[in-house]
Amino acid sequence: TQLLEQSPQFLSIQEGENLTVYCNSSSVFSSLQWYRQEPGEGPVLLVTVVTGGEVKKLKRLTFQFGDARKDSSLHITAAQPGDTGLYLCAGLGTSYGKLTFGQGTILTVHP
Amino acid sequence: DSGVTQTPKHLITATGQRVTLRCSPRSGDLSVYWYQQSLDQGLQFLIQYYNGEERAKGNILERFSAQQFPDLHSELNLSSLELGDSALYFCASSVDLGLAGGHGELFFGEGSRLTVL
């Protein structure tokens, strides 16, 4: 069974601060996806990282895939209240193609 | 708008009852997934269909069943409902299975909120 551990579970910060969310596993994934979910809505795909060591930027969000493709991080620079939400990482297994979700990080950015 | 449609958005029912949740995937997507999300359990994978065939099963109770029809819409049937079944139920679709170079990215509907009283 492939598990994805996300940390921290909860993050409460002030507007303008930086933060990093981690997604770790002992398993290798062929790719890793990050989703953001707002209250009352379904998760929305933010990015997919595929290559070990890959870094992708989406405005103030920076996503990194670990060299060994077992972990990933999401860094947000100068967080804004609009960044508030549940952030989920999901890893795609190498053999079957099964998608495994982490437990999520609830981010609250206070104005 | 993800292109995935779920109905109903809200459902309130009593213990012991049976409900059906409906999902229409994005146009062209052959794969449909069902997830349950509750506060203490996160996003739990229930079941996946691909082009009408069951593809994978997750933590789906025997009281729950699903199917995907020839027009690719899917239904999740929940029976003998218990208080603990109260949750958000999401349907998601993807264009591929995450094999042969695809990444299996999911597009989620807005969910059906089930409340069992």
**B2, B104, B109 member nearest A99 (Cβ):** B104
Chain A residues lying within 8 Å of B43, measured CB to CB: 43, 88, 101, 104
Q: Residue B43 and residue A43: Cβ atoms within 8 Å?
A: yes
Query: Which of A 46-105 lie inside 8 A of B, CB atoms?
Result: 48, 50, 88, 90, 92-93, 96-99, 101-104
CB-based contact A33 B103, cutoff 8 Å: yes
Q: Three-state SS string across chain A, please?
A: CCCCEEECCEEEEECCCCEEEEEECCCCEEEEEEEEECCCCCCEEEEEECCCCCEEEECCEEEEECCCCCEEEEEECCCCHHHCEEEEEEEEECCCCCEEECCCEEEEEEC
The confidence score (pLDDT) of residue A6 equals 95
In tens, the pLDDT along A63-104 reads 999 999 999 999 999 999 999 999 999 998 876 667 889 999
pLDDT for residue A93:
81
* Tens-digit pLDDT profile for residues B19-33: 999 999 999 899 999
Nearest by CB to residue A42, choosing from B45, B99, B109, is B109
Give the model's pLDDT for residue A2. Answer: 66
Over the Cα atoms of chain B, what is R_g? Answer: 14
Measured CA to CA, the distance from residue A38 to residue A104 in angstroms comes to 12
Sorting pLDDT into bands at 50, 70 and 90, what band is A1? Answer: low
Compute how many other C-beta atoms are within 10 angstroms of the C-beta atom of residue A18.
Answer: 11
pLDDT tens readout for residues B57-115: 988 999 999 999 999 999 999 999 999 999 999 999 988 765 555 677 899 999 999 99
Q: What is the pLDDT of residue B100?
A: 56
What pLDDT is attached to residue B102? 67
CB of A101 within 8 A of CB of B42?
yes
